[in-house]
Chain A
């Protein structure tokens, strides 16, 4: 069916353009990865601050919410005079869009740490800093990972818009293909974007489970003596 789109066939086009496809895929991954990592580096400290001082939460989420609602194309266009046609322009936009998701999830995770757990830890002599690093953040990991997954998938989708400044990863294929009315290019760009999002989501799901073996309900411990409760 796809082969009937017109010569050259989609497979022919892929093999002719594989270096370019690979380069754009790598660029796509890089743009998304940097955005999520930087977004996390900004939102975790902000979330901790907003969690500890409830007064900060409304202004922080308000600001992140504003960023989130600005149309991405508009944002990139506005940024061009400032940061030029660079990856930085794209990253500023992408990072901006991750903040609301990451902050909301991180704060929710921190707020979900049971009161009695914090009380027990404090009562045993944890300092506030130890409480944060050894109890509150680790216990919030499942919620934080959930936020990272959503932010990653939406970022992978948004990267394409970076074509405006010439840094759009697979978005370049889609736009280029649309410009030339050349379907195989559009399809390859679209399918690869979706595949990237799915693979990243699955990988994060598995990574999240790996770092929180305690959070799996009904976890069995193979090879461990299961003794009857005495």
Chain B
């Protein structure tokens, strides 16, 4: 995988005291990935980000974007090639939504038609009603403003984006939706992104890699979220990641990634005796019922009073089941809320795959 953004021994000292804001930082961001810089205030995460587009000049070290040293480039040209989103959106209050989105195309002197087409494209991509095009930012909801801010950064289709707490100014529900929407868009666009946040949960959700920075701008750990949760490099990282490390890790692992147990299962054409035997074999008093591989529900001993096939007894549907695309955290929720204390796993077409138990999940988190 090629490196898109590369920081080598970058330091930044401020003021007469020469205090380090960032110290000897080396960091590579692979093309198409989201690297999240996270840490307490004063850890230099925003300073680091701003050095990439030269809003702040490093005291020493080198920074390269797409293999080119940023310090050798004209800052204005450099910035026009890098998408930039800030916390408070920084939308132009005196420009309409369409004009705001067209900011960088206009600076790059795109034709009016090309710009207009691009604006339409981005409005659609960000699920913004075409009616908002001619409105001013003050007339939009917080969530819409944030979307316009991100759309504006993407207008000239830059390969690299810098995002400084882009979703922090909205309430948690809207924030979560904006995060999901952005990840969905990113799956298609594969931009190389440096994303700054102070919120470890946002970092875990958004990142391909997380850089945890400490006060004075030293890098404590740079790794995939799952690795940071599983193997924090030191006490600082452990403390910063906080409680519920196990739960947070469960959210990052898909059901498809772990081994699933068989679990009791019979065909709807099976006899009551066969169903009894299947339950006994697993030491349980219930069994899943499938029809042509597709999950129908479950039956227990009390329902098997009569004779005839299991299908006749009208299997009861599971109140919750998980698919292979769900996270282990969702599986855990399914386990603790089900009467049977297992999570039944199906594939995308509803075909029965097996079950997950609490034992299986705790084994997964406890694994080194």
Could you tell me if A119 and B93 are in contact, using CB atoms closer than 8 angstroms? Answer: no
Which residues of chain A come closer than 8 Å to B79, judged between CB atoms? 122-125
Could you tell me if B76 and A125 are in contact, using CB atoms closer than 8 angstroms? Answer: yes
Which residues of chain B come closer than 8 Å to A221, judged between CB atoms? 134-135, 139
Give the distance to chain A from B132, nearest Cβ to Cβ, in Å: 7
Q: With A123-B79, A126-B107 given, is the CB distance from A117 to B138 under 8 Å?
A: no
Q: Give the CA-CA distance A98 to B55 in the complex, in Å.
A: 38
Give the distance to chain B from A217, nearest Cβ to Cβ, in Å: 8
Q: Give the CA-CA distance A215 to B53 in the complex, in Å.
A: 31
Which residues of chain A come closer than 8 Å to B130, judged between CB atoms? 225
Q: With A119-B55, A227-B132, A229-B144 given, is the CB distance from A130 to B90 under 8 Å?
A: no
Could you tell me if B77 and A125 are in contact, using CB atoms closer than 8 angstroms? Answer: yes
Q: Give the CA-CA distance A227 to B140 in the complex, in Å.
A: 10
Which residues of chain A come closer than 8 Å to B93, judged between CB atoms? 117, 139, 214-215
Q: B92 on the interface (CB 8 Å rule)? A: yes
Identify which of residues 156-191 in chain B touch chain A, using a CB-to-CB cut-off of 8 Å.
Answer: 162
Could you tell me if A116 and B87 are in contact, using CB atoms closer than 8 angstroms? Answer: yes
Give the distance to chain A from B164, nearest Cβ to Cβ, in Å: 9
Mask: chain B, 90-117; 1 = CB below 8 Å from A; 0 = not = 1111110000000110010000000000
Identify which of residues 28-46 in chain A touch chain B, using a CB-to-CB cut-off of 8 Å.
Answer: none
Q: With A116-B86, A125-B80 given, is the CB distance from A229 to B136 under 8 Å?
A: no
Give the distance to chain B from A159, nearest Cβ to Cβ, in Å: 33
Give the distance to chain B from A34, nearest Cβ to Cβ, in Å: 29
Q: Return the contact of A120 from the options B86, B129, B135, B136 (Cβ within 8 A).
A: B86
By beta carbon, the residue of chain B nearest A142 is B94
Q: B354 on the interface (CB 8 Å rule)? A: no
Could you tell me if A116 and B94 are in contact, using CB atoms closer than 8 angstroms? Answer: no
Could you tell me if B136 and A123 are in contact, using CB atoms closer than 8 angstroms? Answer: no
Could you tell me if A212 and B107 are in contact, using CB atoms closer than 8 angstroms? Answer: no
By beta carbon, the residue of chain A nearest B85 is A120
Q: Give the CA-CA distance A63 to B127 in the complex, in Å.
A: 55
Q: With A214-B138, A229-B141 given, is the CB distance from A119 to B90 under 8 Å?
A: yes
Mask: chain A, 171-202; 1 = CB below 8 Å from B; 0 = not = 00000000000000000000000000000000
Could you tell me if B90 and A224 are in contact, using CB atoms closer than 8 angstroms? Answer: no
Which residues of chain A come closer than 8 Å to B162, judged between CB atoms? 123
Q: Return the contact of A124 from the options B103, B127, B144 (Cβ within 8 A).
A: B103
Give the distance to chain A from B155, nearest Cβ to Cβ, in Å: 9
Could you tell me if B127 and A127 are in contact, using CB atoms closer than 8 angstroms? Answer: no
Q: B84 on the interface (CB 8 Å rule)? A: yes
Q: B131 on the interface (CB 8 Å rule)? A: yes
Give the distance to chain A from B105, nearest Cβ to Cβ, in Å: 11
Could you tell me if A227 and B131 are in contact, using CB atoms closer than 8 angstroms? Answer: yes
Identify which of residues 89-132 in chain A touch chain B, using a CB-to-CB cut-off of 8 Å.
Answer: 114, 116-117, 119-127, 130
Could you tell me if B136 and A124 are in contact, using CB atoms closer than 8 angstroms? Answer: no
Q: With A138-B94, A139-B93 given, is the CB distance from A123 to B134 under 8 Å?
A: no
By beta carbon, the residue of chain B nearest A122 is B55
Q: Give the CA-CA distance A191 to B88 in the complex, in Å.
A: 50
Q: With A135-B92, A139-B93, A227-B131 given, is the CB distance from A119 to B86 under 8 Å?
A: yes
Report how many residues on chain A are interfacial, defined by Cβ distance under 8 Å: 30
Could you tell me if A139 and B94 are in contact, using CB atoms closer than 8 angstroms? Answer: yes
Q: Give the CA-CA distance A229 to B84 in the complex, in Å.
A: 24
Q: With A119-B90, A214-B138, A219-B139 given, is the CB distance from A125 to B104 under 8 Å?
A: yes
Q: A2 on the interface (CB 8 Å rule)? A: no
Which residues of chain A come closer than 8 Å to B139, judged between CB atoms? 219, 221
Q: Report which residue of B53, B89, B107, B153 has the largest number of chain A beta carbons within 10 angstroms of its beta carbon.
A: B107
Could you tell me if A227 and B84 are in contact, using CB atoms closer than 8 angstroms? Answer: no
Q: Give the CA-CA distance A219 to B92 in the complex, in Å.
A: 17
Identify which of residues 244-262 in chain B touch chain A, using a CB-to-CB cut-off of 8 Å.
Answer: none
Which residues of chain B come closer than 8 Å to A215, judged between CB atoms? 93-94
By beta carbon, the residue of chain B nearest A139 is B94
Q: B143 on the interface (CB 8 Å rule)? A: yes
Q: Give the CA-CA distance A7 to B153 in the complex, in Å.
A: 76
Q: Return the contact of A224 from the options B87, B103, B134 (Cβ within 8 A).
A: B134
Q: Give the CA-CA distance A141 to B95 in the complex, in Å.
A: 13
Which residues of chain A come closer than 8 Å to B88, judged between CB atoms? 114, 116
Could you tell me if B107 and A224 are in contact, using CB atoms closer than 8 angstroms? Answer: no
Which residues of chain A come closer than 8 Å to B55, judged between CB atoms? 119, 122-123
Mask: chain B, 117-156; 1 = CB below 8 Å from A; 0 = not = 0000000000111111011111111011000000011000
Enumerate 25 A-B pairs (CB-CB under 8 Å) in ascending A order.
A116-B90, A120-B84, A120-B86, A122-B55, A122-B79, A123-B86, A124-B79, A124-B103, A125-B77, A125-B78, A125-B80, A125-B104, A135-B92, A212-B94, A213-B136, A214-B94, A214-B138, A215-B94, A219-B138, A225-B129, A227-B131, A229-B140, A230-B127, A230-B129, A230-B143
The 6 closest A-B pairs by CB, nearest first: A120-B90, A225-B131, A125-B80, A229-B141, A125-B79, A123-B84
A interface list, Cβ under 8 A from B: 114, 116-117, 119-127, 130, 135, 138-139, 141, 212-215, 217, 219, 221, 224-227, 229-230
List 14 additional A-B contacts (Cβ < 8 Å) besides A117-B92, A124-B80, A125-B107. A114-B88, A123-B50, A123-B79, A124-B84, A125-B76, A125-B78, A125-B79, A138-B94, A212-B94, A214-B138, A215-B94, A225-B130, A227-B132, A230-B127
